[in-house]
Structure 1
């Protein structure tokens, strides 16, 4: 009788340990995804500010460092912004695609923590 009780306790402890480790790993995965979305949000904001500064000649466009920063920001954000721009109507000189993308990122982050994570954890 004692053997069965000890075996049941051992199985329960192993199950709880594996379950806790799995929950910790899922939490770490969700935090990493959230951090990546947060970093991309700041890159998107930096790209928008950089484009304004470049358009109004506030920064020196012939500077190599400025050009490399601009190229990096353009290459990182343009693949995501281009499909959004195709869906939006022509608003003249106003580009609201970064705002739409920020709203999408906000929605994904909220969905991640309020709906997906509680289902998985």
Structure 2
């Protein structure tokens, strides 16, 4: 059961990394440091978009419109952190 706990924490860590990467890339694209017309940037950007859209879409439907500001990555990170805290506090269930 310990391995299940570690696998869940690993999945949460990978998801957090992808959200951070997507967040940083969105700022770099907005400030025209990165260009989506470059093939590598486009592949990474659209790949992250496809992977994270199932997480962001329900959050975007729930959150109010804030103009050009998208708070769904912040809410997703808070949700992942809450799940991680719940898992750590209930570690005894995995032993």
**Greater Rg over alpha carbons, structure:** 1
Matched, 1:33 2:5: no
Q: Which runs of 4+ in 1 moved over 6 A?
A: none
Structure-1 residue corresponding to 2:19:
44
Superposed CA deviations along residues 17-39 of structure 1, whole A, max 9, x for unmatched, are xxxxxxxxx11110011011001
Point out where structure 2 has 5 or more consecutive residues left out of the alignment.
none
2:59 to 64, 67, 84: 84
Superposed CA deviations along residues 48-107 of structure 1, whole A, max 9, x for unmatched, are 111111122111221111100111111111110110010001111111111111010000
Structure 2 CA distance for aligned equivalents of residues 45 and 69 of structure 1: 13
Q: How does 1:1-121 map to 2 (within 5 A)?
A: 26-115=1-90, 117-121=91-95
TM-score scaled by length of structure 1: 0.74
TM-score scaled by length of structure 2: 0.93
CA contact (8 A) 2:12 2:80 kept: yes
Point out where structure 1 has 5 or more consecutive residues left out of the alignment.
1-25
Superposed CA RMSD? 1.0
Query: How many pairs align?
Result: 95
Q: Which of the two has greater helix per residue?
A: 1
